[in-house]
Chains A and B, each alone.
Chain A
Amino acid sequence: MEMATVRHRPEALELLEAQSKFTKKELQILYRGFKNPSFLSFPECPSGVVNEETFKEIYSQFFPQGDSTNYAHFLFNAFDTDHNGSVSFEDFVMGLSILLRGTVQEKLNWAFNLYDINKDGYITKEEMLDIMKAIYDMMGKCTYPVLKEDAPRQHVETFFQKMDKNKDGVVTIEEFIESCQKDENIMRSMQLFENVI
């Protein structure tokens, strides 16, 4: 409960500029969006950090038709690198720095980290299934074709066929990166969001 009264100030602009790959102007734009007053009205959201509820709320605005709470939860965990329950501006900037300005290796690393729910270095089928279900949930009910019950599972099977080289039932980071680098679609789509800021 002390979090509510603590005002979190981000690190100095120069420091963040040095640590991340953004310029000062970009950091300014990011911070203006991050510290948007419309989220300070959230009673549980102390200023300066974003908590999981806000994440879920943001995502539900972007995907109104489906249920994005699960995916937002996984995403939150991926951003909250120090696992203290809230995403500060530094976490935010570091995450975005990897996603937008990082090398392909770093991006794949980040994606692996997202899928690896318990952060043990292996993606198991159950973890992947959770992630897949969360993604499919975001589409919602009204889709064409209708989402079948085992569509996520099938998708996971396809994924594992592609990624799991030694067929041991888990995907390690090396297997993941190797498989992704061989797939030119994935490589190309990694570059898709270069100019987001």
Chain B
Amino acid sequence: MAAGVAAWLPFARAAAIGWMPVANCPMPLAPTEKNKRQDELIILNVSGRRFQTWRTTLERYPDTLLGSTEKEFFFNEDTKEYFFDRDPEVFRCILNFYRTGKLHYPRYECISAYDEELAFYGILPEIIGDCCYEEYKDRKRENAERLMDDNDSENNQEGSMPSLSFRQTMWRAFENPHTSTLALVFYYVTGFFIAVSVITNVVETVPCGAVPGSRELSCGERYAVAFFCLDTACVMIFTVEYLLRLFAAPSRYRFIRSVMSIIDVVAIMPYYIGLVMTNNEDVSGAFVTLRVFRVFRIFKFSRHSQGLRILGYTLKSCASELGFLLFSLTMAIIIFATVMFYAEKGSSASKFTSIPASFWYTIVTMTTLGYGDMVPKTIAGKIFGSICSLSGVLVIALPVPVIVSNFSRIYHQNQRADKRRAQKKARLARIRVAKTGSSNAYLHSKRNGLLNEALELTGSTEDEQHVTKGTSLIESQHHHLLHCLEKTTGLSYLVDDPLLSVRTSTIKNHEFIDEQLFEQNCMESSMQNYPSSRSPSLSSQHGLGSSGCSRRSKRSHLPNASVAATRLRSLQELSTIHVPCSQQPSLTTSRSSLNMKSDDGLRPNCKAAQITTAIISIPTPPALTPEGESRPPPSPSHASIPTTTSNIVKVSAL
């Protein structure tokens, strides 16, 4: 709960009066302030600089140094102030945290010094406010990287690396060529062969001297064997590389689907297909087409170049701008082509034979190329042609800077977006933890609070150390407020936490069962005497109304008795019984215990006025009953005879 909000707790509690007339059950007692001191100013002397604040301000966070009794260690009797021999600059931020509930990280502060101070004062860095959290995390990460670099260079000099599996080493070598010399060699070799392959593809087509007596041959046809050997060598290298990558990939399926591996496959497939295919005239045309795909080998360079990857990514993310460009161009082309066609229709020997034919003119003009192979001859055509070229400049020139600036923006944004994504997850996790933490805290304290009451009832003072101390007054008041809400609605909070279900002896689970549900259940199931102590008496009802929420926390059967169980044998709690006086004589209880003794029990009563209750939660299975323990007597209950209007009967058991 934020500090500032704690100041509003009295208001929320006062407003809880609005629930009172509506509630069906009586409200729990409010926590009393045992020692209500007047709020006083305390002086904190940090290396000579004096800070003053209210005591209650510091007590907002009882699990920090300043909020707990730990600060008494620093109390100076002579000057009546708390003296800390620490940095006063950072202390300013820390004190502001108590005041406003937000912890800020000043930029000029060194990250390790700040961390040290936070650790000293017992404040977790995770609660740094969102305004400063990014900065803090960045600095922390840089620091960590710096430390890791130092460590790594140390390690490398020593030569001790953590042992990875062979596969993992290979994958690391592939992904990051700087990890080892072998990887670097591999990197350069593949790069070289890609270059060789691309160059051979290019040179293949160059006309290279004519064999006398026939037409000019391209180099590829002249030195066919040599080129074939080169091609084979390259493809073999690429195949081996692909297979090695496939073997080393941590997730083969994902690897196969990735872009780079598809490029690899496309680069080497034509060769194999060419091997398989015969030199048939029909298929050679298709075969020639396939050779085109060899040019894709150039894309393999993107593994070697970071910039290419970013460019590719940018184009992908700029898709909308590119799409817009394309769309507007298409629109303009169609418009102008139509216009030019009809304008030139009249002139003789016009090249504008159809609208699609005019497309070529329009594109060439709009991109300001102006080849001149198609030129308008009529006056109208020339006018529209000039309009076309002017608008072309606009249509093309406008989106291009947008794309360029997009590239730069995306480049930076890419880096920041990843950072933010990671932080968002962490932030949500923190919020979730805080929420469940507060409800956990509530359930814990509920348990402890009832234990306290019970202990007070029996006069036992022994188990007090089980009760967590240090629940601040504000927390107990907050919990009381939540408890009142539970009582008003007749429901109770559930928290999914396996830890809650396993505690030693001090668990006392109680469930509030909705009045209506309960009546229903009582009418449905016959009221049985609760037989064995293991089964919860109302297990049948528990089966109903199941929810998606895990109820493990409420349903723990304690397997082992613990010593303290003996002390709890006479524990009983206040329970509330609803007795619908008017009609059914069925009995409802609002608490159920887990391990009940066999003769305790909710006895069904036929008379409305008589109520019995014995809710005893004793977490011992009968087998382990210590011998001195006697069965708690069935409790007669003092039922306050309900008034005619009220259906609620409060029963105090023995």
Q: Which residues of A contact B (CB under 8 A)?
A: 29-30, 32-34, 36-39, 58-59, 61-65, 75, 78, 92, 95-96, 99-100, 107-108, 110-111, 114-115, 131-132, 135-136, 138-148, 151, 154-155, 158-159, 162-163, 176, 179-180, 182-186, 188-190, 192-193, 195-197
Contact A193 B13 (CB under 8 A): yes
Contact A33 B7 (CB under 8 A): yes
Q: Decide: A183 near B18, CB < 8 A? Known: A36-B4, A142-B494, A142-B549.
A: no
Select the residue from A34, A108, A140, A143 with max chain B CB neighbours within 10 A.
A143
Contact A189 B12 (CB under 8 A): no
Closest to B432 in A: A64
Contact B439 A64 (CB under 8 A): yes
Q: Decide: A155 near B24, CB < 8 A? Known: A33-B8, A62-B478, A65-B493.
A: yes
Q: Which residues of B contact A (CB under 8 A)?
A: 1-5, 7-27, 29-30, 32-33, 39, 99-102, 434-435, 438-439, 478, 481-482, 484-486, 488-496, 511-514, 516-517, 544-547, 549, 551, 554, 643, 645-646, 648, 650
Contact B13 A142 (CB under 8 A): no
Q: Quick one: which of A37, A139, A176, A188 contacts B26, CB cutoff 8 A?
A: A188
Query: In whole Å, how far is A81's beta carbon from the nearest beta carbon of chain B?
Result: 14
**Residues of chain B contacted by A162 (CB below 8 angstroms):** 645
Q: Decide: A193 near B14, CB < 8 A? Known: A33-B8, A36-B7, A155-B24.
A: yes
Nearest first, the 10 closest Cβ-Cβ pairs linking A and B are A33-B7, A38-B4, A146-B547, A99-B14, A143-B491, A145-B545, A142-B549, A189-B27, A36-B4, A64-B435
Query: In whole Å, how far is B209's beta carbon from the nearest beta carbon of chain A?
Result: 79
**Residues of chain B contacted by A34 (CB below 8 angstroms):** 7
**Residues of chain B contacted by A110 (CB below 8 angstroms):** 17-18
Contact B11 A144 (CB under 8 A): no
Query: In whole Å, how far is B10's beta carbon from the nearest beta carbon of chain A?
Result: 5
Closest to B10 in A: A196
Q: Quick one: which of A100, A146, A195 contacts B545, CB cutoff 8 A?
A: A146
Total A-B Cβ pairs within 8 A: 187
Q: Quick one: which of A38, A59, A135 contacts B19, CB cutoff 8 A?
A: A135
Closest to A154 in B: B516
**Residues of chain A contacted by B7 (CB below 8 angstroms):** 32-34, 36
**Residues of chain B contacted by A176 (CB below 8 angstroms):** 21
| Bound Cα distance A17, B126 (Å) | 42
Contact B485 A37 (CB under 8 A): no
**Residues of chain A contacted by B15 (CB below 8 angstroms):** 75, 99
| Bound Cα distance A36, B101 (Å) | 10
**Residues of chain A contacted by B26 (CB below 8 angstroms):** 185, 188-189
Contact A139 B489 (CB under 8 A): yes
Contact A193 B4 (CB under 8 A): no
**Residues of chain A contacted by B29 (CB below 8 angstroms):** 192
Contact B481 A190 (CB under 8 A): no
**Residues of chain A contacted by B547 (CB below 8 angstroms):** 142-146
**Residues of chain B contacted by A111 (CB below 8 angstroms):** 17-18, 20-21
Query: In whole Å, how far is B133's beta carbon from the nearest beta carbon of chain A?
Result: 16
* 30 examples of A-B residue contacts, CB within 8 angstroms: A33-B7, A36-B4, A36-B7, A38-B5, A61-B1, A62-B1, A63-B485, A64-B439, A65-B439, A78-B18, A92-B11, A108-B21, A110-B17, A115-B21, A142-B495, A143-B491, A144-B545, A144-B554, A145-B491, A148-B517, A158-B24, A162-B645, A179-B645, A180-B21, A185-B648, A190-B17, A192-B27, A192-B30, A193-B16, A195-B30
